[in-house]
Amino acid sequence: MDVANSTQTQVAEIEKLSKSTSEIAAVSEQNASATEEASAATEQQTAGTQEIAASVQKMASMADDLSKIASGFQTARWF
């Protein structure tokens, strides 16, 4: 093999390597984008869960207040 053929082979291999590196970079960018989207969805879900927890606490407090109010009433006994 002469120098020209060897150089052409090296150039071809470098081009393949460059293409592979570009493909890996593109996949990495897609993964980063998907990770950001998942993170945003998780943040939204966390916020929703916190709102639900606050509502549950408020309802529990209201139920306790209602129970205290209702305990002041006497019910008729029909037996």
pLDDT in tens, the chain (79 residues): 688 889 999 999 999 999 999 999 999 999 999 999 999 999 999 999 999 999 999 999 999 999 999 888 877 777 6
Write the single-letter amino acid at 68: K
Instruction: Tell me the C-alpha distance between 63 and 75, whole Å.
Output: 19
Instruction: Tell me the C-alpha distance between 55 and 63, whole Å.
Output: 12
DSSP secondary-structure letter at 71? T
> Which residues are within 8 A (CB) of 9 and not within 5 positions of it... i.e. 6 or more apart?
1
Output the CA torsion sign for 21, 23, 24, 30. Answer: positive
